[in-house]
């Protein structure tokens, strides 16, 4: 069955083609069956392949479908590479992807562009599978750009609003900055190692490069550029919150569960290179830490339900980067998986809330919704607990492993650990702030009459709830991938430290409970100080990063475009034209139109010629 791995991206691709070519002429039921069904089939095949692969005991499996191109030693193929890592990724993508598709059949039911929506979604899944299954970096790059395109199309799905288009373009261009860095990385890797096949490349690099060599640092920095772009980490994180302009299932699928974790996948996939460049690996950890803290603060100040979740996503991916940076590769991937479960759950539940509230997204216009929206309430409760790493939920296991690995790192490990724990504290606060404000307190505005839903919307929520609670007990088969990369002994930490780590998020929840539910501390009073107002504004704007980038990149570019609208180079040719025109004007003066003037000039010329003849 493994040889049918090419079917995985083929089903969604076929779905995409059918939906595009019929261009909206199919009935909604048919579109839903094709759209969600293709992903379901992929998931089915993926599951069978997974069972077989794990049963076979092989470390990896390669299936070459066709040779893409072969030029002067450069021969990437359309080949799929299956190992523990891509297995986990493909199951997440098809599994969570299927649930979200199913949910979307209900969520988008009233949208006039139903078929267009599912065609993009299917294309996205196809591209994402290419990304994780490709056995060479070029194929990975194909998927990488493909998911970026789908992300662009889906963020700008409701295209009539210019701000959606802006958000979509911002997402594409900012990630493209990262992509370009990654592309240059590929050029460098090929120039140095002579291949872009991932496994070959890693082997050659291990043999030829010394630890800490300049080339290793350069290539990993360039790849890291790609990773931070896609995964919305510092300094390219600004696009993700704006990307919430897309429909909510998109936010769940692309901007929480799958695409934004592609950077984590990339680093994990090329972890051998990062091990050869310890300084860059440490940089990954610091980037993760700083991003997770910054995003945590920002999430505290947001009022849009989806933006809060978006910043929380940035923050959680920060944890994954932290894990990668401290060498806890499998823990990072583990967190990627659990995050996919609970964040998809949260986003989908927020979708139900938003739809029930008639597209209201501000949490302060909600309140007391736990009675009216029981399924969303349950989903949010479980999702939030998993997000804050409540003991024995899925998020607990994964975050714990990352932080423990950080603690065990010598040198800066203690700071990374402390920062991560602090982040967990803030996670508790902002997550439950959202939870308490939306579901408790007084009902404000117009409470919804009934919860939107149906089996195809609530079913995925229930499955994700189960996964969010028990997902931590799944063991991911990535040991063979990272085998020699990390230690596998149990983490030895004192019970005190462990207790502390469990307690901190709970403390965060408690603070949130006191502030936002019991109102023991008045937020209004806090906001009366100008310093806290300014801080709030600063954090709210995402630490002023957009402001900064506007001034450093966007405005100068626009200014340059404006002053050079008419192409400076053309002015030069215009100048030639002007010169010949004025020369023409001067010469034209001799054309008086008087016969005698011409005759005189002629005679003069004759005389001059004769004189010349005589003199010479």
Q: Which residues bind another protein (CB under 8 A)?
A: 20, 23-24, 66-72, 74, 78, 138, 141-142, 144-146, 149, 152-153, 156, 159-160, 162, 164-166, 168-169, 172-173, 176-177, 179-180, 183-184, 186-188, 190-191, 557, 560-562, 564-565, 567, 569-570, 572-573, 587-596, 599-600, 603
Q: How far is the CB of 603 from another protein (least distance, A)?
A: 6
The smaller minimum CB distance to another protein, of residues 178 and 327, is found at: 178
The smaller minimum CB distance to another protein, of residues 67 and 527, is found at: 67
Identify the CA nearest to 168 among candidates 79, 73, 255: 255
Q: How far is the CB of 594 from another protein (least distance, A)?
A: 5
d(Cα 165, Cα 148) in Å, to the nearest integer? 14
The smaller minimum CB distance to another protein, of residues 6 and 68, is found at: 68
Q: How far is the CB of 188 from another protein (least distance, A)?
A: 7
Q: Which run of H or E residues covers position 223?
A: helix 214-230
CA geometry: angle 384, 341, 119, nearest 5 deg: 125
The smaller minimum CB distance to another protein, of residues 181 and 398, is found at: 181
Asked if 237 and 545 count as a contact pair (C-beta separation under 8 A), the reply is yes
The smaller minimum CB distance to another protein, of residues 514 and 606, is found at: 606
257, two tokens: 């569960």
Q: How far is the CB of 546 from another protein (least distance, A)?
A: 17
Where b means 16+ CB within 10 Å and e means fewer, 215-231 reads: bbbbbbbbbbbbbbbbb
- Count CA atoms closer than 13 A to 107's CA, side-chain side: 31
Q: How far is the CB of 433 from another protein (least distance, A)?
A: 35
The smaller minimum CB distance to another protein, of residues 77 and 383, is found at: 77
The smaller minimum CB distance to another protein, of residues 494 and 590, is found at: 590
| Length, in residues, of the chain | 616
DSSP 238: T
The smaller minimum CB distance to another protein, of residues 67 and 414, is found at: 67
Identify the CA nearest to 194 among candidates 184, 205, 183: 205
Q: How far is the CB of 73 from another protein (least distance, A)?
A: 8
The smaller minimum CB distance to another protein, of residues 172 and 397, is found at: 172
The smaller minimum CB distance to another protein, of residues 195 and 312, is found at: 195
For residue 191, CA distances in Å to 135, 140, 208, 219, 516 come to 19, 18, 13, 11, 57
Contacts of residue 266, Cβ cutoff 8 Å, sequence gap at least 6: 140, 144, 182, 223, 226, 227, 230
The smaller minimum CB distance to another protein, of residues 106 and 156, is found at: 156
Secondary structure (3-state) at 551: helix
Q: How far is the CB of 305 from another protein (least distance, A)?
A: 25
d(Cα 116, Cα 35) in Å, to the nearest integer? 10
d(Cα 390, Cα 238) in Å, to the nearest integer? 29
Asked if 459 and 364 count as a contact pair (C-beta separation under 8 A), the reply is no
The smaller minimum CB distance to another protein, of residues 46 and 189, is found at: 189
Q: How far is the CB of 606 from another protein (least distance, A)?
A: 10
Number of neighbouring beta carbons within 10 Å of residue 540? 16
Asked if 133 and 6 count as a contact pair (C-beta separation under 8 A), the reply is no
The smaller minimum CB distance to another protein, of residues 166 and 415, is found at: 166
Secondary structure (3-state) at 101: helix
Asked if 154 and 254 count as a contact pair (C-beta separation under 8 A), the reply is yes
Q: How far is the CB of 97 from another protein (least distance, A)?
A: 20
State how far Cα 428 lies from the chain centre: 23
Q: How far is the CB of 450 from another protein (least distance, A)?
A: 31
Asked if 230 and 241 count as a contact pair (C-beta separation under 8 A), the reply is no
Secondary structure (3-state) at 247: coil
d(Cα 502, Cα 496) in Å, to the nearest integer? 10
559, two tokens: 């200014």
Number of neighbouring beta carbons within 10 Å of residue 499? 10
Q: How far is the CB of 28 from another protein (least distance, A)?
A: 17
Helix spans in 108-161 (H):
114-133, 137-155
The smaller minimum CB distance to another protein, of residues 173 and 418, is found at: 173
d(Cα 347, Cα 218) in Å, to the nearest integer? 37
Q: How far is the CB of 138 from another protein (least distance, A)?
A: 7
d(Cα 134, Cα 131) in Å, to the nearest integer? 6
Contacts of residue 21, Cβ cutoff 8 Å, sequence gap at least 6: none
The smaller minimum CB distance to another protein, of residues 176 and 540, is found at: 176
d(Cα 605, Cα 224) in Å, to the nearest integer? 78
Q: How far is the CB of 495 from another protein (least distance, A)?
A: 51
Q: How far is the CB of 131 from another protein (least distance, A)?
A: 11
Secondary structure (3-state) at 199: helix
Q: How far is the CB of 593 from another protein (least distance, A)?
A: 3
């Amino acid at each position: 069955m493994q040889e049918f791995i090419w079917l995985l991206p083929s089903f969604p691709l076929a779905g995409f083609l059918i939906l595009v070519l019929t261009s909206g002429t199919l009935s909604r039921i048919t579109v839903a069956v094709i759209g969600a069904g293709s992903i379901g089939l992929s998931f089915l095949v993926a599951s069978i392949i997974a069972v077989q692969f794990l049963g076979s005991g092989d470390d990896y499996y390669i299936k070459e479908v066709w040779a893409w191109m072969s030029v002067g030693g450069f021969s990437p193929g359309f080949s799929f590479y299956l190992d523990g890592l891509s297995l986990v990724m493909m199951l997440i993508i098809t599994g969570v992807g299927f649930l979200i598709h199913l949910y979307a059949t209900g969520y988008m039911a009233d949208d006039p562009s139903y078929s267009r929506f599912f065609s993009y979604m299917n294309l996205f899944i196809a591209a994402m599978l290419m990304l994780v299954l490709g056995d060479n970096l070029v194929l990975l790059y194909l998927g990488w750009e493909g998911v970026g395109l789908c992300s662009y199309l889906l963020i700008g799905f409701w295209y009539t609003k210019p701000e959606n288009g802006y958000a979509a373009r911002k997402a594409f261009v900012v990630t493209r900055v990262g992509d370009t860095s990654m592309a240059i990385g590929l050029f460098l890797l090929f120039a140095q190692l002579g291949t872009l096949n991932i496994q070959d490349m890693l082997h050659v690099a291990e043999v030829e490069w010394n630890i800490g060599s300049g080339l290793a640092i350069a290539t990993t920095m360039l790849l890291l550029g790609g990773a931070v772009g896609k995964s919305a980490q510092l300094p390219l994180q600004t696009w993700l919150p704006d990307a919430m302009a897309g429909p909510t299932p998109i936010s769940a699928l692309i901007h929480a569960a799958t695409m934004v974790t592609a950077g984590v996948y990339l680093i994990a996939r090329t972890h051998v290179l990062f091990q050869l460049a310890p300084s860059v690996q440490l940089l990954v950890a610091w980037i993760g830490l700083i991003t997770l803290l910054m995003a945590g603060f920002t999430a505290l100040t947001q009022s849009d339900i989806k933006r809060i979740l978006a910043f929380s996503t940035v923050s959680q991916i920060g944890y994954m980067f932290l894990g990668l940076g401290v060498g806890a590769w499998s823990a990072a991937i583990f967190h990627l998986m659990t995050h996919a479960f609970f964040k998809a759950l949260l986003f989908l539940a927020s979708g139900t809330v938003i739809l029930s509230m008639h597209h209201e997204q501000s949490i302060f216009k909600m309140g007391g919704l736990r009675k009216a929206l029981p399924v969303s309430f349950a989903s949010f409760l479980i999702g939030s607990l998993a997000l804050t790493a409540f003991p024995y939920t899925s998020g607990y296991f994964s975050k714990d492993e990352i932080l423990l690995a950080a603690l065990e790192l010598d040198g800066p490990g203690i700071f990374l650990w402390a920062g991560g724990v602090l982040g967990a504290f803030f996670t508790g606060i902002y997550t439950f702030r959202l939870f308490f404000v939306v579901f408790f307190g007084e009902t404000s505005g117009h409470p919804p009459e009934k919860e939107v839903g149906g089996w195809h919307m609530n079913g995925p929520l229930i499955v994700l709830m189960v996964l969010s609670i028990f997902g931590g007990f799944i063991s991911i088969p990535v040991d063979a991938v990272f085998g020699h990369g990390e230690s596998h002994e149990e983490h030895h930490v004192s019970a005190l430290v462990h207790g502390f780590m469990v307690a901190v998020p709970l403390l965060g929840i408690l603070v949130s409970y006191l502030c936002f539910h019991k109102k023991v501390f008045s937020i209004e009073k806090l906001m009366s100080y100008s310093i806290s107002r300014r801080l709030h504004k600063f954090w709210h704007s995402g630490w002023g990063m957009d402001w900064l980038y506007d001034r450093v990149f966007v405005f100068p570019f626009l200014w340059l475009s404006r002053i050079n609208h008419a192409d400076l180079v053309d002015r030069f040719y215009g100048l030639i034209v002007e010169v010949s025109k004025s020369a023409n004007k001067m010469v034209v003066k001799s054309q008086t139109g008087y016969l005698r003037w011409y005759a005189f000039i002629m005679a003069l010329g004759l005389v001059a010629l004769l004189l010349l003849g005589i003199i010479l």
